[in-house]
Structure 1
Amino acid sequence: MNMKRTFGAVLTILGIIGIIWGAYAFVMGGDGAMIGKFTSAVPFLIGLIFFFAGINLVKTIKDSDSR
């Protein structure tokens, strides 16, 4: 597997985690996630950036056979 594709997959997974964490913190009002209601937008936005960057990286990198 290509190294850039692996990095894209890792970014995508981190983005999903950030989106879930930000949404959970927003719904809970900051009680269960150690952050306030409005600052829960920060991990959500960072998660969105990571998610779309990872998807774009996986989608645009072509598989190359080194054999």
Structure 2
Amino acid sequence: MSLPKGFAMFRRTDGTAAVCRVSAILFVGKNERGVVLNFAGGAQVNVHESFDEVMALLSSED
């Protein structure tokens, strides 16, 4: 599936997928469940991708 520029798809830990606007991600962290994407308003998404995979994906969207 092709996504518009500036968007990325992540595999969530609950088995679903989430498409996120890269510029909306405030910071990326790690917790006991793996990697977590943090958004404004305290929203968080836990993803299956490794920290390095997420960072590579985000840097390629610049």
Q: State if a TM-score over 0.5 links the two structures.
A: no
More helix by share: 1
Larger-Rg structure: 1
- Which gives a bigger RCO, structure 1 or 2 (Cα 8 Å, sep 6+)? 1
* TM-score, length basis structure 2: 0.33
* TM-score, length basis structure 1: 0.32
